Chain A
Amino acid sequence: MADPLLRLTGLTKAYPGVIANDDVNFDIGENEIHALLGENGAGKSTLVKMIYGLVKPDRGSMVLQGQDYTPSEPSEARQRGVGMVFQHFSLFDALNVAENVALGMENPPKTRELAERIRTVSEEYGLPLDPSRIVGTLSAGERQRVEIIRCLLQDPKLLIMDEPTSVLTPQEVDILFQTLNKLRAEGTSILYISHKLEEIRTLCDTATILRLGKKVATCTPKDTSARELAEMMVGASFATPEARQTTLGEVALKVANLSLPAPGAFGTPLRDVSLSVQRGEVLGIGGVAGNGQDELLAALSGERLSPAGSIELLGTDVSRQGPMARRDAGLLSGPEERLGHAAAPNMSLTENGVLTAARREGLLKNGFIDWAAAKDFTEKVISTFDVRTPSANTAARALSGGNLQKYVIGREIMQRPEVLVVNQPTWGVDAAAAAAIRQAILDLAANGAAIVVISQDLDELMEISDRFAALNEGRLTDAVPVAGLTIDTIGLMMGGAQDMEVAHA
């Protein structure tokens, strides 16, 4: 192989408590579409941010076209011919396409000239786009074209694309792929970040797989099966789980054909989700982030109401009830985002206890808060779950992530739920705290609660779940018993690949 376009050597970046990238080496060749593949938190974003000059590596070096490359900011990266299209667009709705493009350029030409160039480039690459359209009226796919054209106008040697297809319709994906192939033919290399395995197998020449900040392998995706790719993403450490002894009771939570539209521009709609959980059982729901996890939790907790008849709690239809009524009925939940969602950052732990436990724990008398009882409850959570905090009066934001997580999960568990739904219960939590939280969840199930754990940590799901289902673009697969589940099947369930039937066979 000829000299690579970009060579990464020993790139390392550590953040407090976590090594985002650990000694990553790989080459991106000329005329190559190079996939960067990995689970959430594998370090993909940090890596591309280093290449694009947004983050400075602690160690290691980069060589671009034979010359040292140490961009200190994105404008330097752009000057050297590195462009990036982000997953979330940075466009102004009220301005037109040409004005938006001009804002992202170092020395924008005159508007008329720029419009002409936009028209030429957009036609050349099969990305039809009218420079005078107001961005607010464009679809997600068209907005992405604006971002791509903004990069193309600077004649990049390397174009970084962060999960470009996550916002596109299948037709738009086809157009995008044609464009990318054309770009490659003309000598632009592309670093393509995704976790959609089939996509990578169709499009990319080479794939580099990251897991926990380390490079696992570089391979040719066309010669590698989706199964093998999934295995490398998830890791070889994966142990086939065994069945746990559980005594199952009645069905506590039943969701039938639940569909909800996406809550916002970047949300995921829930499509025909069905599940049921029995007392004593833990249902694990896996899937790559952004496939409907938050939306599912909001629908179950009652933050978003569902069509009548779709959610049944202990035999009663709760679809049209809000969070308070569902809590009264025994359905408690823990969202992923600790600060700002599960807890109010500037409020004390006691106040955050009142947040969800006010009614179940009898902290209210005629609408007046019994602060002494609230403090007792909070201190009970703190001591039972070993939350390290100076006092119950400490503001939630002053606690470390792991301690706050122990508090918000503990707060729900201490209320003895009939059904508990948690999203990412151990996200960003140190190993000891994570083990404690998992144990508490298992104990709760053993006492007869039904539990739904939504998580992106497969190891965790395999450790604590009885059955496993995966979310993919808002669809939930059928739940299968975890015992005997192989990594192949899991990868396919998560990736939403076509050959599910083969895998089951």
Chain B
Amino acid sequence: MIHLEKRPQPSQVWTVITPVLAVILTMIVGGMMFAALGKPPLEAIRTIFWDPLFHPQFAGYSRPQLLVKAGPLILIAIGLSVGFRAGIWNIGAEGQYIMGAICGAGASLALYPSDSILLFPMMVIAGALGGWAWSMIPAILKTKFGTNEILVSLMLVYVAESILASVSSGLLRNPDGMGFPGSRNFQQWDAAANKELIANTGMHWGVVFALIAVIAAYVLFARHIRGFQIRLSGEAPRAARFAGVNPNRIVIFCLGTAGALAGLAGLFEVTGPAGQISIDFNSGYGFTAIIVAFLGRLHPVGILLAGLLMALTYIGGELAQLMLGVPGASIQLFQGMLLFFLLATDVFTNYRIRFGQGAA
């Protein structure tokens, strides 16, 4: 018989090993999946993990994409991790991301064609506020009426998607767009564009904010009493109340932070890589960021690395679809495996395996 035995203390070694082990297991089982699909497994794995960075022909295009994709993922995941640490499960970052984009873009489009240098900072603030306000809906419902934030925040994603569909073909539609849905293109409007800061690196303002968020979150959790209170609320809610932590304030703070960061990510995406508000500019970053947050062990530095890894599988996945013709769903499956194996191996951080008959 195999027994799981609780460790007296969480294992430091396993905390570091589990993400690596999860990636390796994903490669093995993912390879088996590609083999079953009739694709060469080793080549598929190499196409996903290696070619985007080092392929002589494609790397020039795909390498900058790494930061472009990782930026929003990291920014959103950092916000989510703040809540997850406190046991507040905001699943609706996608909605907050969309609403941030709509608010930021809408605020600037109202002033078109302003070329003030204050325009972009104002958009950034409007984007953060949009995401924040959207996250306040589950926060206030939870604190006032005890609703479940998982359900409310998730449902609000669909509301946000409907609003996005509505404004992109209505309120924010480009008046010079000959009736096509979608807003003006921000890349053609210098004052409102989120430009690439260093040519051919993919570095844009969203990546800068993501790095700032990583550092801020690190300081928050390592040094600040608020970070301590958040961790305490997640670890032992009764002890947190005993310490004098107001649970409602933690809910408001955590959901608000996540919403504001997701809103920022949306704003930077819509004014940068996506270029315009359109019905499908969002590409699911808000959901993928949940995986990134857990893959990164809810630790800021871990999230930074996990965001880069996840971005790599995105780009590599597209490349694999293009080069090997694997179906798009198999790439999602592949990313799902990563989370699955991470959670499975995570058990070993707190438990060890004992073989043989354990004492009853």
Contact = CB atoms under 8 A, between A and B. Distances in A.
A394 B236 CA distance: 17
Contacts of B244: 302, 322-325, 327
B242 A367 contact: no
Given A369-B224, A369-B228, A395-B10, A346 B242 contact: no
A354 interface: yes
Interface string B211-244: 0000000000001111010011001101111111
B230 to A, nearest CB: 12
Q: Which of B228, B238, B242, B246 has the most CB of A within 10 A?
A: B242
Contacts of B240: 344
Contacts of A323: 241-244
Given A301-B242, A324-B244, A397 B8 contact: yes
B57 interface: no
Contacts of B226: 367
Contacts of B243: 323-324, 355-356
B283 interface: no
Contacts of B239: 340-344, 355
Contacts of B238: 337, 340-341
A369 B225 contact: yes
Contacts of A473: none
B357 interface: no
Contact of B232 (A324, A325, A337, A344): A344
Interface string B272-307: 000000000000000000000000000000000000
B225 A398 contact: no
Nearest to B239: A344
Contacts of A232: none
Nearest to A364: B225
Interface in A216-238: none
A140 B232 CA distance: 34
A89 to B, nearest CB: 23
Nearest to A340: B236
A116 B210 CA distance: 66
A303 B242 contact: yes
Interface in A284-309: 301-303
Given A303-B241, A394-B9, A345 B225 contact: no
A337 B236 CA distance: 12
A327 B241 CA distance: 13
Nearest to B243: A355
Nearest to B7: A398
A379 B279 CA distance: 59
A347 interface: yes
A341 B223 contact: no
A280 to B, nearest CB: 27
Contact of A367 (B10, B224, B236, B246): B224
A357 B148 CA distance: 33
A15 interface: no
A398 B246 contact: no
B223 A344 contact: no
Given A337-B238, A397-B8, A347 B231 contact: yes
A334 B8 CA distance: 24
Interface string A314-343: 000000001111010000010101001111
A395 B9 contact: yes
B237 to A, nearest CB: 8
Contacts of B8: 395, 397-398
Interface residues of A, number: 33
Contact of B235 (A333, A345, A358, A368): A345
Contacts of A346: 10, 235-236
Nearest to A371: B223
A351 interface: yes
B15 to A, nearest CB: 12
A398 B350 CA distance: 12
Interface string A349-368: 00100111010000010011
Contacts of A398: 8-9
Contacts of A343: 236, 239
B223 A369 contact: yes
Contacts of B235: 344-347
A335 B240 CA distance: 13
A335 B242 CA distance: 8
Contacts of A367: 224-226
Contacts of A395: 8-10
B228 A354 contact: yes
Given A303-B242, A341-B238, A398-B8, A347 B224 contact: no
Contacts of A301: 242
A364 B228 CA distance: 12
Contacts of B232: 344, 347, 355
A368 B246 CA distance: 18
Interface string A228-260: 000000000000000000000000000000000
Interface in B236-285: 236, 238-244, 246
Nearest to A324: B244
Nearest to B350: A346
Contacts of A356: 242-243
B10 A341 contact: no
A204 B208 CA distance: 76
Given A327-B244, A341-B238, A341-B239, A368 B9 contact: no
Given A344-B232, A346-B10, A398-B8, A368 B225 contact: yes
A358 B225 contact: yes
Nearest to A398: B8
A351 B228 contact: yes
A327 B242 CA distance: 11
A342 B242 contact: yes
Contacts of B224: 367-369
Nearest to B240: A344
Contacts of A347: 231-232, 235-236
Interface in A386-433: 394-395, 397-398
B10 A322 contact: no
B288 to A, nearest CB: 28
A155 to B, nearest CB: 32
Nearest to A394: B9
Contacts of A345: 235-236
Nearest to B241: A303
Interface string B82-96: 000000000000000
A283 to B, nearest CB: 21
A368 B223 contact: yes
A322 B242 CA distance: 9
Nearest to A343: B239
Nearest to A346: B235
Interface of A: 301-303, 322-325, 327, 333, 335, 337, 340-347, 351, 354-356, 358, 364, 367-369, 371, 394-395, 397-398
The 4 closest A-B pairs by CB, nearest first: A323-B244, A324-B244, A344-B236, A398-B8
18 contacts: A303-B242, A322-B246, A324-B244, A327-B244, A335-B242, A340-B236, A340-B238, A341-B242, A342-B242, A347-B232, A351-B228, A355-B242, A356-B242, A367-B225, A369-B224, A369-B228, A394-B9, A395-B10
Given A341-B239, A342-B239, A395-B9, 10 more contacts: A323-B242, A324-B244, A325-B244, A341-B236, A345-B236, A346-B10, A351-B228, A356-B242, A367-B226, A369-B223
